Amino acid sequence: MKPQKKPDITKKDNETEKKKRNKPVRGDGDRAFLIESILEIFKGSSPEKPVKKVEIIKHLKEKGHYNLNRSTLDKKFKELEKKGYTLVKLEGKRGFYLEDSNRSFEDYELRLLADSILYSHIAPEKYTAGIIEKLGAMGSDEFSEQMSKRALTAKFTSRSNNKNIFLYIEDIQEAIFKNKQISCNVIDHDYDFEPVKRYKDDIVVNPYELAFSNGKYYLVCALDGSDELTIFRVDRLTDVQLLDSACVEVSQLKKIKSDKGLQKYISSQPELKGGQREVFTLICYRDSLNDVYDAFDGDLRIANVDEENYDDPETVRVSVETTRDAMVAWAITHADSVVVIYPKSVRNEIEQAIKNAQHTYFKTGKPARIRSRLAYSFEEALREMRIAGIDHIHYTGRTQKGAMEQVDFGKHDISGIKSITLWHCDLSECILNNDLTNVEFLMLVDVNVTVDFLKRFPKLIKLVLNRTNIDDLSFLNNCNELRQFTLIGNDYLSDFSPICKLSNLRLFRTDSETITKSEISKLRASITNCEVKIFEPSRKDYKMALRPSYTLINGKVNSIDYEFKWYAGFSPAQKHRSIKELHEAITGLETNAKPIEISTKSTNELGVKLSAFNLKLNGYTLENIFQSSKVFRLGGPFRDLLEVEPKEAKKDERLRRHGPIISFNYDGHDFPTEPKTVFYDYIYIEAVKQSISADEIRRIADFTHFTDIEFNPQKSINTQARTVAIIKLMLEKFGELPDMTVEEFIEFHKANVIE
């Protein structure tokens, strides 16, 4: 959407701003260039060819300095001496000459300066040509002639369109010197390439340094009120004003200065992006070493990584320091020859960016109706559907490691849609305030959905529910116009009577094993025109799996492995089917067994309450406590992990960069790594004492086997099922959960738990 109002950034505005600021465009008559003009007059002077003051004043008047007098000229002579120049006065009134010094430039030095200006993209064409000619005048006659021609090439090189850039650089530099804030805005461009202001009102920033990179000036600063460093391109700034308020040095800048300094911070970023410096480990193929060396200014160190996984002899493993955004931007452009391996979160971000780029290339050029099927998000699918002018949406959830994608219809405009097909999505948090009266077809496959959500489709003609978590068909009372209903992969429904009230239903299909013959007969009798198809379930969506159940054997906690049918999918319905199969495998071998699932997927309320996700110890989740208590050979524990999200704590890179775990430290106590699960079991039991009532704890003794459907002993060590089995053992031995010291619990664990 284009902004309604665009700032008219024109030449007239620039001239008006200059007049308002009383800062004319610099030229020969500008006093700021007076020193350069005097030096030009003295060029070629010698004891044999002195220059008199009257001659200097005459020459300067010709350049526009009409009000110059001898007193002012004497002051400028003193400024020259302060700058290191030596003016020699001859006896009598013969005049002055400039003694040769190291302040003069050779032609090749001037050429470097001229090319730096020409190819820097900083100044507009007019100013670039003027500066190159001035530099040429400081060299030999041949060089001056060459630079006059070279100044003409300024219009053929990429130049900044910001004609105020010199004024802005001066103001910013003055603000830095005087330790003052500035106000400004940032120029972006819309779809018509017209300049627009990024911020509705000018922003106030704390300026710290002007950096030069890739031919452009950048301002290293912090927004007023923010503690993060930000970087703006100076040629994108507008309305720069020097303020009277003092510049504030943010804590991040203080940290940078105390570390290796601001200049090191700037030079370590191949792409100036800002942020905090971190250590990154790279795998570099031989032909990329020059790129890495140049990008990070040769500041590389050999990195110690897992030789088993990174054993390619044609690669070099190095570590560098830069900021996260700078590394991501640089690494993406070198992804074919350089791989970031640590931190893993950055590696994942780069990998996802590459996948997104691949997705963009793959879908671009295809018709919108095809792009809608290839979408990476529900929002993207909806947008492509609108472009294609179609009234149906078909979307498959895109998430890593099989987790369902959260989709909320309430955040999008889905008016006009008549058909919706969703695969592998989670609609449990979706809130609809209005009925979707346009939708006639709804198909949900491997979807987590609520009854309240399904009630919002009163005009449905066709409904397909395939492997959903629905266990209540009461929503059908709102679907009076439904003609076709397909229910697949659901064995948890016990009441099919709402179907009998669908007078317009003409076809009902299901493979449910819980629908009885009497219910089928009642359905056929209620809706005589409805064809009822009951077919054998095609249970090919499972594989045989082996999982442990924890129980008491000879007075000790032990485990027994059971083989059962594992159903693929991440919907609660699929988890319930797998749990049911596991428990039937247990009771099939031990008829008196009474198993209970200990997880959020449990169908038993007590099993859900005993899930580690629902337990807290001293106000913190078990995940936070567990991760923040790890002591490594090279560091830890990292107590700040108590205050972050549990998933963030588990993924913190420090947990993988400080060597092996040597112990745990919690609440002033040290815990060994052997027995392997002793620390987890201890904090879990302490959390149960605080989170579960005494009556509920005693109910644990009613069960004989404890399972955790998500636990795979091939991939992890700790499981809540084992710990609940320990609780059962304590209840049998002591009649309650006893208060044990850490040392007593460790000894009890060693004597009674077989790992």
Please check whether residue 335 lies inside any domain of the structure: yes
Residue 178's pLDDT is what? 93
Residue 649 and residue 529 share a domain: no
* Residues counted in the chain: 755
Residue 746 and residue 600 share a domain: yes
Residue 245 near residue 239 (C-beta atoms within 8 A): no
Low-confidence residues of the chain: pLDDT under 70: 1-33, 65-66, 100-104, 119-126, 154-163, 298, 399-403, 491-492, 536-542, 569-571
Residue 382 and residue 337 share a domain: no
CATH number (domain holding residue 471) = 3.80.10.10
Residue 488 and residue 350 share a domain: no
The DSSP line for 457-472 is -TT-SEEEEES-----
Tokens 């409904």 belong to residue: 463
Phi, psi of 365 (to 5 degrees): 95, -10
Please check whether residue 539 lies inside any domain of the structure: no
Residue 299 near residue 279 (C-beta atoms within 8 A): no
Q: SS3 for 126?
A: helix
Residue 20's pLDDT is what? 43
Please check whether residue 272 lies inside any domain of the structure: no
Residue 611 and residue 554 share a domain: yes
Q: Rounded to whole angstroms, what are the CA distances from 692 to 419, 707, 739?
A: 46, 19, 16
Please check whether residue 185 lies inside any domain of the structure: yes
pLDDT digit string (tens) for 212-238?
A: 877 778 899 999 988 888 889 888 899
Helix then strand then coil, in percent of the chain rounded to 5, is: 40, 20, 40
Residue 314 and residue 185 share a domain: no
Rounded Cα–Cα distance for residues 182 and 241 (Å)? 5
CATH number (domain holding residue 70) = 1.10.10
Residue 542's pLDDT is what? 65
Tokens 């703006």 belong to residue: 232
Q: Nearest-5° angle of CA 529, CA 535, CA 536?
A: 165
Tokens 């700058």 belong to residue: 83
H helix or E strand, kind and range, residue 548 = strand 542-553
CA atoms within 13 A on the CB side of 688: 33
Rounded Cα–Cα distance for residues 359 and 6 (Å)? 33
Which tokens sit at 408? 């909320």
Please check whether residue 411 lies inside any domain of the structure: yes
Which of 267, 289, 310 terminates a domain? The answer is 267
Residue 72 near residue 56 (C-beta atoms within 8 A): no
The DSSP line for 200-235 is SS-EEEEEEEEEEETTEEEEEEEETT--S-EEEEGG
Which tokens sit at 521? 């007969």
Number of domains in the chain: 6
Residue 406 and residue 312 share a domain: no
Residue 24's pLDDT is what? 41
Please check whether residue 203 lies inside any domain of the structure: yes
Residue 347 near residue 662 (C-beta atoms within 8 A): no
> Could you tell me which residues come within 8 angstroms of residue 363 by beta carbon, excluding any fewer than 6 positions away?
370, 371, 374
Which tokens sit at 699? 């109910």
Residue 2's pLDDT is what? 42
Residue 342 and residue 238 share a domain: no
Residue 698 and residue 578 share a domain: yes
Angle between helix axes 34-42 and 53-62 (nearest 10 degrees) is 120
Rounded Cα–Cα distance for residues 677 and 726 (Å)? 11
Residue 483's pLDDT is what? 94
The candidate with the shortest Cα–Cα distance to 95, out of 55, 61, 62, is: 55
Tokens 């021609």 belong to residue: 149
- C-beta neighbour count of 474 within 10 angstroms: 12
Residue 148 and residue 289 share a domain: no
Please check whether residue 732 lies inside any domain of the structure: yes
Residue 341 and residue 291 share a domain: yes
Ramachandran category for residue 565: left, alpha or beta (phi over 0 → left; psi -120 to 50 → alpha): beta
**Domain interval for residue 218:** 165-267
Which tokens sit at 108? 């090749």
H helix or E strand, kind and range, residue 215 = none
pTM exceeds 0.95, yes or no: no
Residue 303 and residue 339 share a domain: yes
Which of 51, 69, 98 terminates a domain? The answer is 98
Please check whether residue 5 lies inside any domain of the structure: no
Rounded Cα–Cα distance for residues 212 and 233 (Å)? 10
Which of 315, 331, 360 terminates a domain? The answer is 360
Residue 252 near residue 186 (C-beta atoms within 8 A): no
The candidate with the shortest Cα–Cα distance to 575, out of 551, 608, 538, is: 608
pLDDT digit string (tens) for 583-595?
A: 988 888 888 889 9
CATH number (domain holding residue 307) = 3.30.70
Burial, 478: exposed, middle or buried (Cβ in 10 Å; 0-12, 13-18, 19+)?
middle
